[in-house]
Amino acid sequence: MTSTTAPKTVRTLIAPDKFKGSLTAAEVAQALAAGLRSAADVPGTAGAVQCELLPLADGGDGSVDAAVAAGFTRRSYTVAGPTGQPVQSSIAFDGDTAVVEVANTCGLALLPEGQQLEPLNASSRGFGEAVLFALSLRPARIVLALGGSASTDGGMGMLTALGYSFLDANGRQLDGNGRTLGQIHSIHRAVLPELADTELIVASDVHNPLLGPTGAPAVFGPQKGAGSTEIAALDAGLAHLVARLSEAGIPDAAALAGHEGAGSAGGLGYACLLLGARQVSGADYFLDLLDFDTRKDSCDVVITGEGSIDEQTLAGKLPAAVARRSGGRPIIAVAGRSLLPQERWSEMSLNRVYTLAEYTDRDSSKDPKLSAALLHRIGQDIAAGLR
């Protein structure tokens, strides 16, 4: 007797972060979905797999792309790159909210090809220019996505683009970068009326203060090319910036330097606080912005992931936030590598972790083509396990 029962369709929500250095969140989701669908299309298999793609970001690089994938419109604009060269950047805008990110304006990845890291000369000016462009669209709010910066200038470059003047002892305008922090003699600021009418939101999960052993230079300087001498110079320069801002009558300039998150993006977090920005969890804010809760309600299984699953993931990175908000649904994680042993998967309520490292002996972290092929295979294996 032939069964008339229709095969079950498993509805999956594919909601990953980027695999840094290899694939964007959208590319990760697309590769997994292609594998899931190809396995489900094999004749004779029971059931089908329905895929909804929700590429995510946590306020770092990829935030604009994630917003665009969720329905925002991309608006392109040319800004000054981290060392002054023009770069084609973009923001995301939905008529109400604009998303502006550091990574595609003054990020490490935008340093000219073959050029060494520039821990002292890199500037956040391009980020300020992108904020100005966003303001011209008259948004109700701007989400400031801080992550992947090349600079450690305390936001001096950004503030310069937004109307601040940083002058040396001879009254000359200084370029805003880490090298000139210690040369600031006086500061003048012009108030942009557009800023007063716009809500500023810093989306970041960095908790470091601006200065000291857990501050921006000490913790993040090395990844931007700063050695011990440069770290000491940058820390002293940032302390000098704070002192001059206080002398200029900027309210709470000294107190905000010790605020959680002031050290994010080379001190851009500090400058955003000076402008009155409100800080929120980057992971949770973007999950809300991209309507994760509504989307997960219509799925049976959630698939998330990032380049590396480790102790930092447990501390609240995007996959942990996804798992926490998945409402008891089975959760599968995919990563380039995992440093989390299986006995600790339950700490994130993970049912299974797949890694690219299990599928190849080659280094896939800088190989987009290989990474996509492996994710396709993993998607096929996930589909087989769902039936």
Would 357 be classed as within a structural domain?
Answer: yes
Phi, psi of 114, deg, nearest 5: 85, -10
The residue whose two tokens read 């964007």 is: 24
When pLDDT is averaged across residues 312-317 and rounded to a whole number, the result is 82
Strand, helix or coil at 101? Answer: strand
pLDDT tens-digit map of 76-87: 999 999 999 999
Would 288 be classed as within a structural domain?
Answer: no
pLDDT tens-digit map of 16-25: 999 988 899 9
160 and 273 co-located in one domain? yes
When pLDDT is averaged across residues 282-288 and rounded to a whole number, the result is 91
What is the dihedral sign for C-alpha 343, 345, 347, 350? negative
**Which of 91, 204, 198, 105 has its CA nearest to residue 151?**
105
Residue ranges making up the domain that contains 99: 63-283
In degrees, rounded to 5, the angle at the alpha carbon of residue 59 between the alpha carbons of residues 53 and 62 is 50
157 and 215 co-located in one domain? yes
Would 197 be classed as within a structural domain?
Answer: yes
149 and 232 co-located in one domain? yes
* Residue 253: pLDDT over 90: yes
pLDDT tens-digit map of 60-110: 888 999 899 888 999 999 999 999 999 999 999 999 999 999 999 999 989
Which of 258, 283, 308 is at the close of a domain?
283
123 and 161 co-located in one domain? yes
CA distance 233 to 167: 19
49 and 69 co-located in one domain? no
Per-residue model confidence (pLDDT) at position 7: 55
pLDDT tens-digit map of 176-187: 999 999 999 999
Per-residue model confidence (pLDDT) at position 115: 72
pTM confidence score: 0.88
48 and 69 co-located in one domain? no
Q: 2 or 331: which carries more pLDDT confidence?
A: 331
Would 79 be classed as within a structural domain?
Answer: yes
207 and 226 co-located in one domain? yes
Q: What is the CATH number of the domain that holds 330?
A: 3.40.50.10350
Give how many domains the chain has, as a whole number.
2
Task: Calculate the average pLDDT of the chain.
Answer: 92
Name the residue type at position 110.
Answer: L
113 and 16 co-located in one domain? no
* Residue 150: pLDDT over 60: yes
Would 290 be classed as within a structural domain?
Answer: no
Would 2 be classed as within a structural domain?
Answer: no
Q: What is the CATH number of the domain that holds 175?
A: 3.90.1510.10
Which of 224, 253, 283 is at the close of a domain?
283
149 and 23 co-located in one domain? no
Per-residue model confidence (pLDDT) at position 235: 98
Per-residue model confidence (pLDDT) at position 114: 60
* Residue 6: pLDDT over 50: no
Beta strands in the chain (DSSP E): 9-14, 48-53, 73-80, 86-93, 97-101, 141-145, 164-167, 186-189, 199-203, 278-280, 301-309, 331-338, 352-355
Would 359 be classed as within a structural domain?
Answer: yes
Residue 30: its H or E element:
helix 25-40
232 and 125 co-located in one domain? yes
pLDDT level of residue 59 (50, 70, 90 thresholds): confident
Of 3-12, 13-22, 114-123, which has the strongest mean pLDDT?
Answer: 13-22
32 and 71 co-located in one domain? no
Which of 283, 306, 324 is at the close of a domain?
283
83 and 162 co-located in one domain? yes
